[in-house]
Structure 1
Amino acid sequence: MAADDQPESAGVRVWDRVVRSFHWALVLSFATAWLTRHSSEDIHHWAGYAAAALIALRLVWGILGTPYARFSQFVRGPAAVLSYLCAMLSGREARHIGHNPAGGAMVVALIAVMSATALTGWLMTMDAFFGVPWVEAAHSLAAHGLLLLVLVHIGGVTLASFRHRENLVRAMITGRKREAEQADIP
């Protein structure tokens, strides 16, 4: 039985196939670009182009997609993010069915920095910017910043999985999370 065809008793459907496919394809494109940065220019470039195309798709899907895919569902202001982070530090953060405020901020940060990495990488292939030191420095800074964000993201997913007794990696594969409990935020 396909993950999206599971009975409702298997949990609530949160992340649709577009979001899940985007997520894992972006993981693959970033890992490919990172691992080929010094060895295969063509593969590195195509991984960057794939990442840029995926980001464009996600931006559209963040407006037109299913409810939990929409930015309006999970992007919160700085005060909400800070409040959530403070609750995390005290071990009192609420479980969210979709992205929590910190996770939403991370999605925005990852999209922004991935976009900057792809843009500066593309600029480096153009005659007007080839070999220009500030473009190369910006690309390197963005790529290293992206790696740092990915590591923080993995840490946040691990912490949330542990705290809320829920395997978020499996949820990003199946699209389903356990049903909301009374204290959870839909």
Structure 2
Amino acid sequence: MASDITQSMARPLWDLPTRLVHWALVVLVLVSWFTGGENMQLHRWSGYAIIGLLVFRLWWGVAGGSTARFAHFLRGPGETLAYLRTMGRRAPSQGAGHNPVGAWSVLAMIVMLLVQVGLGLFASDIDGLESGPLSYLIDFDASRQAAELHELTFRIVQALVALHIAAIAFYWFWKRQNLIGAMITGKRPFQGEALRPAKLWSYLVGLVLAVLVAWFISKGLKF
């Protein structure tokens, strides 16, 4: 009985930095989407902010809270395939953090966003009037190619977002798990070790790295 009560109680799972990065990326990807070609100044600012968030998330994946670390939730091919064979079962899995498929989707999203914003830094429009801060490092033809790939990779990002939303709906309706609530409150019922928060110095280092990298890139790698 005591065990059942413990498992049904919400426990700390996602730390505040992880949740803030998640929701800030949601907002900024939407801002970048709707400002591309319309308000390039805001489009650039949102891109720089996304770079800063991704830098922080990469750092947090190494030195952040226990459940935010890549080593905590990334699984090998065997375990991922085993999960795929059982994921349709209605009985909810109450493990801590991301399941194996969700973990790889998180990594895929981070990688594609890095590629997406990276290409934008080198891109130029057809008239050469609007250019990324690093476009001066390559010739115009290469810069135009970067712009085309920048648009193409955003379609991949959109597809990953759609899959993410579909997975949330699957867990909500089939497995009866509210993943959105957990990413808002940072808590949910689960089995296993609860979140071990990171040290204060990890927050500060991550914040400084994020700001410096975003600022340096926005200045075209120039002081």
Relative to the length of structure 1, the TM-score reads 0.85
Any unmatched runs of 5+ in structure 1? 1-8
Computing the radius of gyration from Cα coordinates, the structure with the larger value is 2
Structure 1's 114 and 80: CA in aligned 2 closer, same or farther, altered over 3 A? Answer: same
For residue 3 of structure 1, what is the aligned residue in structure 2? none
**Residue 156 of structure 1: which of 145, 155, 167 is its match?**
167
Deviation at 1:38, TM superposition (A): 2.2
Structure-2 separation of matches of 1:71 and 1:15: 13
Give yes or no for the alignment of 1:107 onto 2:106. yes
Structure-1 separation of matches of 2:66 and 2:54: 18
| Stretch deviating more after TM superposition (121-130 or 97-106) | 121-130
**Residue 146 of structure 1: which of 157, 162, 170 is its match?**
157
Structure-2 separation of matches of 1:158 and 1:17: 23
Q: Deviations over 1:100-123 (max 9, x none)?
A: 001100110000000000100011
User: 1:85 is matched by which residue type in structure 2?
Assistant: L
User: 2:183 is matched by which residue type in structure 1?
Assistant: M
Which structure has more relative contact order (CA 8 Å, sep 6+)? It is 2
**Residue 175 of structure 1: which of 148, 170, 186 is its match?**
186
**Number of equivalences:** 176
Structure 1's 157 and 185: CA in aligned 2 closer, same or farther, altered over 3 A? Answer: farther
Structure-1 separation of matches of 2:188 and 2:91: 20
- 3-state SS of 2:14 partner: coil
- Residue identity over aligned pairs, in percent, reads 33
Structure-1 separation of matches of 2:17 and 2:10: 19
Deviation at 1:141, TM superposition (A): 1.5
| Stretch deviating more after TM superposition (53-62 or 121-130) | 121-130
User: 1:140 is matched by which residue type in structure 2?
Assistant: E
For residue 6 of structure 1, what is the aligned residue in structure 2? none
Deviation at 1:82, TM superposition (A): 2.4
For residue 121 of structure 2, what is the aligned residue in structure 1? 122
For residue 147 of structure 2, what is the aligned residue in structure 1? 136
- 3-state SS of 2:87 partner: helix
User: 1:166 is matched by which residue type in structure 2?
Assistant: Q
User: 2:37 is matched by which residue type in structure 1?
Assistant: H
RMSD: 2.3
For residue 72 of structure 1, what is the aligned residue in structure 2? 71
For residue 27 of structure 2, what is the aligned residue in structure 1? 28
Relative to the length of structure 2, the TM-score reads 0.72
- 3-state SS of 1:22 partner: helix
Structure-2 separation of matches of 1:129 and 1:69: 40
Any unmatched runs of 5+ in structure 2? 1-7, 124-131, 195-223
For residue 11 of structure 1, what is the aligned residue in structure 2? 10
Q: Deviations over 1:117-153 (max 9, x none)?
A: 0100011111225553321222111111001100101
Q: Runs (4+) of structure 1 moved beyond 4 Å?
A: 89-93
